[in-house]
Structure 1
Amino acid sequence: MARLPRLEFPSLPHLVVQAVLPGQVLAPGAQDQQALHAALLEAARPHGVTVHAYAVLPDRFLLLATPARAGGLSLFMQAVGRRYVAGFNRRHGRQGGLWAGRYRATVIEPARYLLDAMVFIELASWRMGLVESPVAAGPVMSSSLAHHLGQRTDPLVLDHAVFWTLGNTPFEREAAWKRRLEEGQGAPLVSRLAEAAHSGWALGEASFLASLQAQSDRRVAPKPRGRPRKPVADGDSKVVGVESPDF
């Protein structure tokens, strides 16, 4: 079956995952972390991409990013790959690619899922057992968590308007964010976000998905499961329709 093109919508946040080849470590040292951070930062502005959250893990990196124009996210990721992988190969005396295939991404409804996606990203190190606490930032430049807790200013990160709704002052937003990280996320929500990024299906309420579908030539959500229900005769009290998709 032919692979569907990625969904990419200007001015909407996208949850992005780029994995490395089995047996490789994405950023094994501080120099690699700095190099990846620099590659993301230098690629963002020329391609009109705003990064709201990120995490650098041993086997992949996660981003929440909004492209300003069509195609901007793809060009941004290509630029990051060219810059980082070339430097990585020089530093580690290797050749060839580093990525395990193309990056995965999904567009999300900001009002419904932006903060959830940020938590998903910034708790990734904790879920993997790399840090002892949900609010432990880890090494410098390994994630945007320290930025959102007010521990340092990260030039890569530009907060989304939805994040600003957490409080009227930086102190209020930082305290609210700390509470949200400490509350964590249930396994169903974590699975839902991970699956959305992996599959590329958009994530949002029905009205949001319908709005996206009106702008896209490809499906933005999977087809309903099961067979469509047959129309019923006039006067039957049953609802006519199809089963709701499992998003």
Structure 2
Amino acid sequence: MHVIVRGNDRQDTFRTEGDRLFFHRCLTELSRETGVDVHAYVLMANHVHLLVTGRDSAAVPDLVQRLGRRYVGYFNYLHKRTGTLWEGRYKATLVEAERYFLTCQRYVELNPVRAGIAGHPANFRWSSHRRLALGCSDDLVTPHSLYENLGDDESSRQLAYRALFEVDLDADTLERIRSTAQKGWVLGDPDFQARVEGRGNRRSAPRPRGRPRKNPELT
């Protein structure tokens, strides 16, 4: 799942490096307690992106709820404020792993570049990129099997992963990831979306535009 948590009214949720450090520590601890593997992340100034897999349907909501309680209490106390910090309910999008996982992972880690605060994802400390591309230590990250399949050893996987970032995401891909995240649609092909929708009680993709066709037998 691609999870996005934003600051209320776009306010900063991290004011210091210490804030990000505490959030990272909480996320590491709570992801293990709730059974959520964090494959990729980025901690921007006023929002967070996570790419995760939960052991069951309750794991991710449990993680976000517990993380919010712990971090907001810390943040309000330290910065002498009260009230909510997050913007309503978090956004969560189911991702078809085989087709879109690595693309979505690139989207997450390229956030600092698109925001103009880093020239390359490796230059931004608070993301999973340095762990996956360079082998830096990061206890939060659990590499996905698709990442593991990029090579036979750590060195070859890191080399293959770095190569993925030599080409930018195209505009259509960016828009699709953004729109599915905003609306809570499923990021996948039509067959995958149909299978997901058949198992749940909510739409997995937008309805086709335009008026429905009339039945010629009734005209």
Task: Tell me the TM-score normalised to structure 2 length.
Answer: 0.93
Q: Secondary structure at the residue paired with 2:123?
A: coil
1:137 CA displacement: 3.4
Query: What are the Cα deviations for residues 43-91 of structure 1, in whole angstroms up to 9, with x where unaligned?
Result: 1122111110000001100000111112211111001101111111111
Question: Residue 217 in 1 paired to residue 201 in 2?
Answer: yes
Query: What letter is aligned with 1:81?
Result: G
Structure 2: state its 5+ residue gaps: none
Structure 1: state its 5+ residue gaps: 1-13, 234-247
Between Structure 1 and Structure 2, whose CA radius of gyration is higher? Answer: 1
Which residue is equivalent to 1:55?
A: 42
Which residue is equivalent to 1:77?
A: 64
CA RMSD in angstroms, aligned pairs only: 1.5
Q: Secondary structure at the residue paired with 1:130?
A: coil
Which residue is equivalent to 1:162?
A: 146
Which residue is equivalent to 2:184?
A: 200
Given that residues 135 and 158 in structure 2 are in contact (C-alpha distance below 8 angstroms), is that contact kept between their aligned partners in structure 1? no
User: Which of 36, 43, 47 matches 2:30?
Assistant: 43
What is the alpha-carbon distance in structure 2 between the residues aligned to residue 210 and residue 22 of structure 1? 34
Query: What letter is aligned with 2:131?
Result: H
Which residue is equivalent to 1:86?
A: 73
What is the alpha-carbon distance in structure 1 between the residues aligned to residue 190 and residue 12 of structure 2? 39
Q: Secondary structure at the residue paired with 1:46?
A: helix
What is the alpha-carbon distance in structure 2 between the residues aligned to residue 182 and residue 87 of structure 1? 39
Which residue is equivalent to 1:115?
A: 102
Question: Residue 137 in 1 paired to residue 123 in 2?
Answer: yes
The runs of at least 4 consecutive aligned structure 1 residues that moved more than 4 Å come to: none
Name the CA shift for 1:188/1:32 in 2 (closer, same or farther; >3 Å).
same
Which residue is equivalent to 1:99?
A: 86
User: Which of 152, 156, 161 matches 2:136?
Assistant: 152
Task: Tell me the TM-score normalised to structure 1 length.
Answer: 0.83
Q: In proportion to residue count, which structure has more helix? A: 2
